[in-house]
Amino acid sequence: GDQVEQSPSALSLHEGTGSALRCNFTTTMRAVQWFQQNSRGSLINLFYLASGTKENGRLKSTFNSKESYSTLHIRDAQLEDSGTYFCAAIASSSFSKLVFGQGTSLSVVP
């Protein structure tokens, strides 16, 4: 079936630093979303991309359908960025169903 492989599974950043999360897809995906899940379980929309790159504040995301990957870059990390980040992709044949990655648990420390 359609698979989304997300890495890393866990990440610790000092405030002010940055890093990248990545999702690789085993099949052609037509779009990807990135979410942050907070401690209460709420999924917050970060990005929706059908192609290309989007930027919002300290976050930037890229989706390359041909090479089957998407990335989420975080720069100047803040304590409130802590949480679990998920990518979720829509496969070409899926009636819009999202296939989720395994999540990245991000901890931002002082």
Partner 1 sequence: NSKVIQTPRYLVKGQGQKAKMRCIPEKGHPVVFWYQQNKNNEFKFLINFQNQEVLQQIDMTEKRFSAECPSNSPCSLEIQSSEAGDSALYLCASGGQANTEVFFGKGTRLTVV
Give me the residues that bind partner 1 (CB under 8 A), please: 30-31, 33, 35, 40-45, 48, 50, 84, 86, 88, 90, 94-100, 102-103
Task: Decide whether 17 or 38 has the Cβ nearer to partner 1.
Answer: 38
Tokens 């999360």 belong to residue: 21
Task: Decide whether 17 or 42 has the Cβ nearer to partner 1.
Answer: 42
Task: Decide whether 2 or 69 has the Cβ nearer to partner 1.
Answer: 2
**Closest approach of Cβ 98 to partner 1, in Å?**
7
Q: Which residues pair with 6 in a beta bridge?
A: 23
* Tokens linked to 25: 């897809």
**Closest approach of Cβ 109 to partner 1, in Å?**
21
**Closest approach of Cβ 110 to partner 1, in Å?**
26
**Closest approach of Cβ 16 to partner 1, in Å?**
26
